Structure 1
Amino acid sequence: MPAILTLTLNPAIDETVSLERLRPGHVHRARAVSFHAGGKGVNVAACLADWGASVTATGILGEDNQACFTALFKAKGIADEFIRAPGETRTNIKLSHDDDTTDINLPGLPVSAEMVAALSARAEALAQPGGLALLAGSLPADVAPDIYATLTARLAAKGVRVLLDSSGPPLAAALKGPVLPFALKPNRAELEALLGTPLNTNEALLAAARALVARGVALVVVSLGAEGALFVTQNAALHAQLPALRVASTVGAGDAMVAGIIAALDEEAGLERTARLATAFAAGKLTRPGPNLPPRAEVEVLADAVTIQTP
């Protein structure tokens, strides 16, 4: 089995509606609409597949509207290990307007304790010692917030490096677990919510990331949107940024950054290469709609163009 596993408990079909501008309370005529299989782990798997990595995706899908997911997995060569459940996978509406995106995330499928147990067992069976596993995204309403903490401990016991990309109670619970994730990728707002304090300066962000490293997380990446990202380990800290690019879609750029982190860890890269590759993945995604990267050679060109500074 592939050594990279992504797990998405709450996938979604991303419906992106393009508007010239958004005026609340007014009727709008959309310029275009597109549908993409989504969810953090799905997006990450798609980007890794574009890079050429072998990746398995698992999670829980609604069997009534799974076609766009199965088509994506087949087109990209992703090993599909999703459990199917009765009902429909949720749709997330993304309004693209005024050079920005407004997200409307709908509730997910009802997920029983039996489904969670089955998925946990499947993830443990699929994950390889020495491999990488991503636990990503929000949770369905009925799933306990400590699920990521439990999965992290079970996978780490197999010698798997676990990356967590979540927020709110699931992130907080994972940081109280018996085993902490190997890597985290919060954005500024998620880190502020976790700590309960604003992080308005680079010094505050760096201190917050270093505090997580001191607790036992090997790598903390704080994504900062157009300002790039902060990469922190026990021994080093780097700030990575690209010049402004022509943007096709900002949807999934953070997920592309996670894919770049995983690709770098898969090749046992150092921190600078990790920062360059993760930033290049995110930048490359900005030039493409949907969970897609440019060809590998173009991503490497972007990686060489990343500006690296010591914060």
Structure 2
Amino acid sequence: MNSPGNGADQCATVVTLTMNPALDITTAAAVVRPTDKIRCTETRYDPGGGGINVARVARVLGASVAAVFPAGGPTGALVSELVAKAAVPLHRIDIAESTRESFTVDETSTGRQYRFVLRGPHLTAAEQAECLDQLRRAAASAEFVVASGSLPIGVSPEFYQQVADVCVDLGALLILDTSGCGLAGVTHGAFVMKPSLRELREYVGRPLDTDADQVVAAQELIERGVTQAVVVSLGSAGALMVTSTACLRFSAIPVQAVSGVGAGDAMVAGITVGLSRAWPLSDSVRLGIAAATAMLMTPGTATPTRADVERLHDMVSVPTELDAAHH
């Protein structure tokens, strides 16, 4: 059932898990309108899904990385081929149903971007169990496991808690970036969680209009023992880092965005690479912001260059300390 792909590396420092990968298809058209045929320009194909994007960017930044993901059908075969082409060692779990596609159209006349995300395959209980088994094997000596992206149909909301338990058993630190039931299903064992502001708001079930509101919400996750740290991505407003002892607000780097697809994944990659270099979390978040900014400047989900990330890293301003004593 498992396809090791291009010689999957058993000694990777960072192992990513993508439970709902996708073939990312990007094209452009002058105008997007109903009913009419939309004549598109050249088409770009990238392997997508949270963990796969993280692995590709981490690889560019020099990390030792491997990607674990289920894949099926011709789409899954192409995703696997593209991951291998990106020089990312992979552990592919063969599944019966076909891997999904995600379709992005850039409207050149307005600069708007239209994103169509198709529903993923249904994973059987046996396929899910094989994913956990392959993760355990791939991450046997890893320092970090990154679980990123949505859960496909048929997968229990508690699945990421099972991933957290595997990480605890292996002594690996879990960095989790997910939403909805996948986020709500985790009760303990994460090292860093990176929700967007929308995801954090949905998790706590209330508006988070101010920095103080956001800090309190993040602190709730830490105090419940769900995670040791929370990094909230705020889009053009930057990011917020909360631990049991610190609350820092980071500004974004203003740039002209080409595509927003994968920017959050690039942030996770930068944070993880920084941590793998034994940097403090605050410095790692700065690298994450640089990687996310660089990703905004690439077409589709094309990875940025290491030189661009390092150049932007020098531009990330010193974060502002916030008062942690809000409750």
Pairwise CA RMSD of aligned residues? 1.9
- Displacement of 1:236 in angstroms is 1.2
Give me the identity figure in percent.
33
Whether 1:162 aligns to 2:171 is: no
1:212 counterpart (218, 221, 225): 221
Contact 1:51 1:293 in 2 (8 A): no
TM-score (norm 2): 0.88
2:164 maps to amino acid:
T
1:198 equivalent in structure 2: 207
1:309 maps to amino acid:
T
1:139 counterpart (147, 151, 154): 151
- Displacement of 1:15 in angstroms is 1.7
SS at match of 1:182: strand
1:52 equivalent in structure 2: 62
SS at match of 2:279: coil
SS at match of 1:108: coil
Deviations 1:152-182 (A, max 9, x none): 11221211101111111111011x3xx3311
2:6 equivalent in structure 1: none
2:140 counterpart (89, 112, 128): 128
1:249 equivalent in structure 2: 259
Superposition misfits of 4+ residues, deviation over 6 angstroms: none
CA spacing shift, 1:63–1:193, aligned 2, 3 Å: same
Deviations 1:233-263 (A, max 9, x none): 1111222223311222111000000101110
1:92 counterpart (84, 88, 102): 102
- Displacement of 1:45 in angstroms is 0.5
1:68 counterpart (54, 78, 98): 78
Stretches of structure 1 that go unaligned for 5 or more consecutive residues are none
Structure 2: how far apart are the matches of 1:130 and 1:29? 46
2:71 maps to amino acid:
L
Contact 1:7 1:123 in 2 (8 A): yes
2:194 counterpart (185, 189, 194): 185
SS at match of 2:185: helix
CA spacing shift, 1:211–1:100, aligned 2, 3 Å: farther
SS at match of 2:170: coil
Deviations 1:70-115 (A, max 9, x none): 3333333211101122342111122334444333221212211111
Contact 1:14 1:37 in 2 (8 A): yes
Give aligned pairs, total.
308
Whether 1:273 aligns to 2:289 is: no
Structure 1: how far apart are the matches of 2:286 and 2:228? 18
Contact 1:242 1:305 in 2 (8 A): no
Stretches of structure 2 that go unaligned for 5 or more consecutive residues are 1-10, 323-327
1:236 equivalent in structure 2: 246
CA spacing shift, 1:76–1:126, aligned 2, 3 Å: same
TM-score (norm 1): 0.92
Within a 5 Å distance, the mapping from 1:8-27 to structure 2 comes to 8-23=18-33
